[in-house]
Structure 1
Amino acid sequence: MQLRESWLLFALGSALFAALTALFGKLGVAGINSNLATFIRTIVILIVTAGILSLRQEWAKPTGLPLNSWVFLILSGIATGLSWLCYYRALQLGPVSKVAPIDKLSVALVIVLGLVFLGEKPSLSMLIGGLLIVSGAIVIAIF
């Protein structure tokens, strides 16, 4: 597997950009409405994504997408929007060093959801890692 096409490279990029999202988001919501901040962020994401699609010539007709994809992408978009609205409000109200780790409880939640709804197979390392994430979030939130 080429490094350029590795899921791990993209996952690490996601972690890096998520960390920057928390930092820049905390600075960005200072003194403005958190919902407005989320709206501005969404517009920027739309423009950047459209630019990438254009540069890579990856535009496709939406009519060619299966209905199943539409339903789940719409549900994912709703969940993303609600997550961002909650996240930015939490950043506005609390310290980024506590908000971001609590937000990452999503990792433990998605492990459970993957096991229950997608039939993914649990491994000892996955279960231990999930428990460590939950434990870490609890320690950060309480202490």
Structure 2
Amino acid sequence: MYCSNSKCPDNIATGNHGEYVSGVTTCPVCGEYLVDTLPPTTDIPREQDHYTDVEPVFETADPTEVVVVKGLLESEGIPYVTTGAEKFDAFRGALSPMRINPKAGIAIFLVPTPLADTVRRLLDDFENEESKY
């Protein structure tokens, strides 16, 4: 069974129609009724800003810096991925990994390689601006 909805968030994120086991009648993501076979498709071009290589640009164990850097990158429209930041939310703000071992709570920000130098300059400018206060 397949979700034939081309605007399903699952299809948009993966580029593939969702496939489900027999017995499931609706797509759990968009609610569309599932079909046995997909109609012939035309390739939908992916976004032009589709990046495959990422580079680390910032590393921190301070949960306040995680929030600030996320906000800065989002406000500039820069795509990013974090690793380790999920540990900060594991206990609803308890930040227990940092209490046990500071290394356990390190968050690393990764950005597309073509944007890495720009992001580093942006973070340096932001840090220099913050040090004035």
TM-score normalised by L of structure 1: 0.28
Higher fraction of helix: 1
TM-score under structure 2 length normalisation: 0.29
Which of 1 and 2 has greater Rg?
2
Using CA pairs under 8 Å that are at least 6 residues apart, name the structure with larger relative contact order, 1 or 2: 1
**Structure whose residues are more often strand by fraction:** 2
